Each structure stands twice: as structure tokens, then as C-alpha cells.
Structure 1
Amino acid sequence: MAPSATTTEKRGEAGQRGGTVSRTYPFSEAEKLDLDPLYAQLRKQEPLTRIQLPYGETAWLATRYEDAKVVLGDPRFSRAAVLHHDEPRMRPNTSNGGLLTMDPPEHTRLRKLVAKAFTARRVERLRPRAEEIADDLVDGMLQRGAPADLVEDFALPLPITVICELLGVPYADRADFRVWSEAFLSTTKLTPEQVTDYMDRMLDYMAGLIAERRAEPADDLLTALIEARDEQDKLSEEELVRLAAGILVAGHETTATQIPNFVYVLLTHPEQLAALRADLDGIPQAVEELLRFVPLGSGAGFPRYATEDVELGGVLVRAGEPVMVSTAAANRDESVFSDPELLDLTRQEATHIGFGHGPHHCLGAQLARMELQVALRTLLTRLPGLRFATSAEDVEWKSGMLVRGPRKMLLAWQGVE
């Protein structure tokens, strides 16, 4: 079993292997949406480098696109192994199970139970409802007048409403589970005790909701998962509770963060924004480029452990060693993307890995794409002259979280519908 959080102290000293000194990681504080230039240097000179996170053992960091895809997709790299190691991490709390700490075939078994709800075809059926929700939110913004906080008035309620309706969670409970969701993404914002408490509250809430849905089934994903548990014995009760809670958190947190991230990038690239306004049919491609360009995470993703010796990036990764991937760095790989530091909303090159790759590729990727497309189209068509209420410097940014994005973003606009 993994050591308890109390056995792992925050490290200030760099570890070593084979004479290679580990770099303290993250390399710097996440500043707005800027990516530390050291990533570009490492891609060219040291594509696999040793790093020491605040907690856990030392790890390798992959920064190149092809190396990243190997770590994320090759079965020789295991997520489940983190449960038996002192995994490198940004916070004291260790992983405690769930879909994100499974390997195939167990991972495949649970993923199949919900994958059909997130296919491109199923998601397209949700688009009209997402558009309706987005329009209603903009109606409220127009009624109240500028300035409006894009985060609270639009970016959060849009994906929360969609995932609540899809899963079967009462939207009225959003204030509670929004707070508890922070436990899944906090690094330093919450204390270890708060993280544990919020996670327990979320799981207790979902267990209670499952009990209610058992008594009164409905036409939603939660009822379908309960039937898979009760009638087909395809998952345990604990797996059911954790899976449902995970869908609720993942179904709104990242999209709610990316909406203001995307708007921020567009408003700070006025020429690209003007071109997009002139051709709204380019929004789907623009979303893909923004997913490539925006470094959502404040650091690298979850570690994977080599199950055997693997040569990667010119380095021998030994069995039992963890490797972390910076998808943000991989998405700026100059060997794959031309002028990778340049935002080009018409870019049509290799597929980005903003949603990951391999077995743990984001389950809700199609849903997120649809919601981001709807969000941009609605904002650009309904709010002419969309701009920062004062300036880009007044945007308030999140801190102490695994994801980076605005905590508050005041916007203004011109004219009337």
C-alpha cells in the first residue's frame, strides 16, 4: 500500500539517480496562462529529465509529443501501480482508488459502463439543450447589464447544468458539490484535512443520491449505472459511488475553467478573435487549437510507473520508476507543430493531446468539445464587442489548484441584441 501522507515530508533537496540531479518541480509558479520557457529548453536538450515534486519520490518528466504518447498509451506504463508506491504529487494526500488509478482490463470494465453516454452521436443530441442553457445565461447577463463575471454568470453554470441533467443530479445542490469538488483539484488551497473531509462529503452525497434513485428510477445516467450494479453485477457499490462522483466533478470542473481561459486568450489575441468573429464556422477548429495552446494544468499529469525497463527519450527508465507527462509541453513540440508558440485558430496539424491519450483519454472529451463550441458561439454572437471590463491585468486567477484559470473575469460588451 502507498505510505500515508504523514510519512512523506515536503522536500527541499533534490534527489539523484545515476548522477543526474532532480529539478524541483513545478519549475515555477503557474503565471496566468504562460508556459515556463524551461519546457522548450528541455524538449530540445533533455526530453526526459528527473524532477522532484513537493511530495513523493522522484520521477521522470516527459516533454516531447511522441514520448508523451508512449507513456500515456503504452501498457508498460501503469496507473494502478501508484497505489503501491509513494507517488510523486503536488499535495500530501495520496490517490485512494477510482477509475483514474486503474489499468485495463479493470479500467476498461468500468469505462465501458459510461462510454456510450459520451459518444459523439449522443453528445450531439445534447447540443440544442446546451445552446438553450447558454442563451438563458446570456439573457441574464444582458438583463443585469455589464460588467458580468464570466466565471460565475456563464462558465460555471453551463457545464454544471449539462452534467447534472445528464447524470441525474439536482442542480439545486450545486453550491455544495462545487465546494466539495475543490478537494479533487486542490494542491495548497485546502488543507489535507479539508481535502479528506470534502471528498468524504462528496462520496456520502452521491451514496445518498444513489439510494434515492434506486427508490425512484429516472431516465438518466445514474439510473443506468445503478442497473448495471444491481441487475448485471458489473461493478461494486464502492465503484458505483466513486464513478458517479468522478463523473460529476470531471463533467464540469475543467470545462468551466477552459471557457474563461479561451475567452482570455481570444481577447488578448485581437486579430485572431476578429478573424473568428468573421467566420463562426471556424469555431470547432478554433476550439482544437485553443485546447492545444492553453496549458490547463499547473504542472504535469498523474504519474505512470514502468512495469519493465523501457527506453524513452534516449533514457533507460527502469521498472518501478514513475514517469510524468507535461501535455502542455508536448502540445508545443516544434517537431510536430509548426510555430508552436503561435496561436493559429486555423491550424490543422497533428492531433493535440489536451484530452490525454490512450486508455485514460478523457471520457468526456466530446462533451467538453461541444460545450466549448457552444460557449464561444453564444458569447461571440450574443455579446457584440465583448471585452475586458477594465483590462486583462484585472483578471483574478486561481491559486493552489491543479488547474489554472480565472477565478473572476469581469467582461463588458456593446450594443443591444
Structure 2
Amino acid sequence: MAEETITLAEPPLPPVHDWPVGQLDGTEFEPVLAELMKEGPLTRIRLSHGEEEWAWLATRYDDVKMITNDPRFSRREASVRQFTRLAPHFAPRPGALAWADQPDHNRLRRAASTAYTVSAVKRLRSRSQEILDELVDAMMQDGPPADLVERVLEPFPISVVCEIMGVPADEQQKVHTWTREIISIAGGAEASERAKKNLFGWIAQAIRDRQDGDGDDVLSLLSGAVKSGELKEEEAVSVAGPLQIGGEALTNNSGQMFYLLLTRPDLMQRMRNDPAVRPAAIEELLRYIPHRAAVGLPRVALEDVMIQGIRIRAGEPVYVSYLAANRDPDVFPDPDRIDIDRDAGAHVAFGNGAHYCTGAVLCRMQIEMLFDTLLARCPDLRLAVPADEVPFRQRTMIRGPLSLPIAW
């Protein structure tokens, strides 16, 4: 008798869920994402912009880590199609680090990476502390109440990132205005594109101007790489742009962290009375805070890949949610609770794989300095308004308080 061939039917595709970006209050976890996490390891989503109908979304910790570290999923391929997305404007720059695959990614990243090593960041610590002390001195001299975002959380990381990038002091406010417009989704595609054109044009000129120098700031390092032929000018500009924008993320992340401290007296007291717990607390807060709206950049499957019994076919787009992975109960028990005694070091708040955040070491240092300095110098630090009156940014890709009124 001929052998019978048994073909196992693949499970039906999950439904496509629309994911509009609604108003999100405070540090609440995005309710749409919470529902998607309940559906299963892989769901299908449709965001506000883009042409293609849907994309896969992975929410489980193990799947997120696998996809972001697997060469079968390509960022480069995702840069040439108009996938469903959050941002109103989509025009990846040639040579952009965020859209590069290996080995090209390492070539692009290498030129600037020496400015972000542990030793380089340590050398920057003294100057960073000077910047922070000057800001806190001025705030305390003026007396309470004060807007912590305006007085410290915004100018501090912007000044530090400008220091490491090599942006002159008299140009910093202009550069900051452009980066803020780029991460906003409120102004639409035209405003975002205009800000990008201004910022990247400024960076290109700065790189040209430094080709005869030997500085150790990022713009000088990239200029040297262009001069040596290691990078094309457009590649150097594309590497520098996202690094410059990184200061905005720290403003919003630290704003969420201080909001949590200021609205949870037990957490504030523990952080104030036990400085030794602060490093672990920072990791737990990085795990917990919803640092962005929706999802970031997609990848494309280069071949058919089976994940959790579901076939992702070659050519299909895939998003991962680091926010969801950081709330995976199989990795972080009782994930919706802040527990600074847990080991949260395995979180993926800075990403994973080749595209792990270049500035992670710098970010951790600045958050540590903010906690140590403000808790030491501002006795009885507290909100100056009821918690529900703290305004949070809306219609922006990076979440955080618009202002944080405090007293001491």
C-alpha cells in the first residue's frame, strides 16, 4: 500500500487589530497593547499610517529577543516599503544605522562607538555633574515651586548629549527644537520632514567643518571617518542624527521615573533612605515605565519562520514590543507592580541584539546622577500640584510629563 501523507493544517491567522494612539494618562500601560498581549504570542496590527494592511506583533519576552537577534529578520528590507506604522512620515535616510543589517551595521556604528564606551562615559561624568549642579543651583536659588522638567530634566540630558556630540552652546537650543519636532506626531509629515531637513543639514555642515580637527566628540569622530573613507558623508550624518535625538528620550524617561517617585511616598522614602538600592531601582523603573507609544521600527522576514506554531512568511513585516516583553509574567512575576527588590537586569528597555541602544551606558549614568543629586539637595521633594494635574505629552512617540511642578 502506498504510504499516506498527512498534512497538518496550520492555525488560522489571528485577526488584524487597529491600534490608534489615543490619550494616555500618566504612566499607565497602553490598554490596546495590554489586550494584544492576552491574545497570544503573535498578533496582527494596523497602525495609523502606511500603505500595507497589517504587520505581525510579537509580545512575549523570548520571542522578542529571538526576533531581534536573528538575521532572518531584516531591518534593511523594512526600509524600502511603506509598512503600517505610527509615524506620519517615512523616508529612511541612506546609511541610517537604525535600518542597517550586519555586517554593515557594525561598520556604521564603529565610527562613533568610542564616544559611548564605559571609559569614555566615565570621563564625561565630572563635566556632567558640573552641568547638573549649575541647573539645580539655579532652581534652588529661585525657590519653589519649580517645573522639574523645564529646570533640570530637559536641559541636563540635552546639554550632556550636545557635549558628547560636540554641539556648540549657542547652537544647542536650535538643535533641541528640531529634535522635539521630529519625535512629535502632532505636527504631521510636513513639520517632521522640515525639522529633519534642518537638523541633518546642520549636522552635515558640522561634519564638513571638522575634517581638519582631531576632537573626540562624535561629530569629529564621524568627520574623521569620512575623511579616511570609512564612511560616506551621508552615512555619517545618518549615524549622528539619532544619537543627537537621544537626549529627548532621557528627558521623558527620567520624567516618568520622578513622577512615580513623587506619587508613591513609600518608593520615595526607600530611595532617599537607602542609596544602595538605587542601581537596582533604576533597572526596575526602566523595565516598568512605558517609554514610548505603540511600537518602533519593523523588521521583514527574509524566509519563512515558525514562531510559537505560527508561520511568518518571507516578506511579511514584524514588529516587536519591548514594553510588552518587559511585562512578560514568565520573566518578571507580577509585572505590573514596581518591585525594586527584584532582579530586573534582564529587561529590554534599551533594545536587544545589534540595535541595542548605543547610549545605554550614558543614559544610566545620567539617571543615577539625577537621583543622587536631587534627593540629596532637595529635602522633602514633592509634587506642587495634585498628581492628576500633571500634564503628560500627547501625540508623541516618546512618552513623558510635559511639566512636573515640584516643591521642597
Render the CA deviation track for 1:209-260: whole Å, top value 9, x for unaligned. 22332355534232122111102x110011112222222112x111111111
Q: Equivalent residue for 2:317?
A: 322
Aligned partner letter, 1:199? K
Is 2:27 the partner of 1:30?
no
Cα shift at 1:38: 5.1
Q: Is the 8 A contact 2:89 2:188 kept in 1?
A: no
Letter in 1 for 2:362: L
The counterpart of 1:182, out of the listed 180, 183, 186, is 180
Change (3 A) 1:210 1:390: same
Cα distance in 2 for partners of 1:171, 1:357 equals 33
| Counterpart secondary structure, 2:397 | coil
Aligned to 1:301: 296
Structure 1 Cα separation of the partners of residues 254 and 125 of structure 2: 16
AA aligned to 1:116 is: T
Aligned residue runs from structure 1 range 200-215, under 5 A: 200-214=197-211
Report matched runs for 1:126-205 at 5 Å. 126-187=124-185, 189-205=186-202
Match of 2:257 among 255, 262, 266: 262
Letter in 2 for 1:205: W
- The answer as to whether partners of 2:287 and 2:344 remain within 8 angstroms in 1 is no
Name the SS for the 1:272 alignment partner: helix
Q: Which residue number corresponds to residue 236 of structure 1? A: 232
- The 3-state SS of whatever aligns with 1:111 is helix
Where in structure 2 are there 5+ consecutive unaligned residues? Answer: 1-10
Count, aligned residues: 394
- Write the deviation string for residues 338-383 of structure 1: whole angstroms up to 9, x where unpaired: 2111101222145100000001000100000000110111111111
C-alpha separation between the residues in 2 aligned to 1:119 and 1:217? Answer: 18
Q: Deviations over 1:139-196 (max 9, x none)?
A: 0101111111111110111111111111211122122111211343122x11211111
- Matched with 1:404 is 399
Are 1:105 and 2:66 an aligned pair?
A: no
Task: Give structure 1 regions of 4+ aligned residues with deviation exceeding 4 angstroms.
Answer: none
Distance 1:314 1:301, change over 3 A: farther
Deviates more, 1:359-368 or 1:299-308: 299-308
The one-letter amino acid paired with 2:359 is G
Q: Which residue of 2 aligns with 1:379?
A: 374
Matched with 2:49 is 55
SS in 2 for 1:297: coil
Give the match for residue 60 of structure 2.
64
TM-score, structure 1 as length reference: 0.90
Q: Which amino acid aligns with 1:324?
A: Y
Identity across matched positions, percent: 39
Task: Give the C-alpha shift of residue 37 in structure 1.
Answer: 4.5
CA–CA distance in 1 between the matches of 2:202 and 2:344?
44
Distance 2:217 2:30 in 1: 43
- 1:49 alignment partner, SS class: strand
Asked if residue 46 in structure 1 is aligned to residue 43 in structure 2, the reply is no
SS at match of 2:402: strand
Q: Deviations over 1:379-416 (max 9, x none)?
A: 11111111111221221111111011011111111xxx
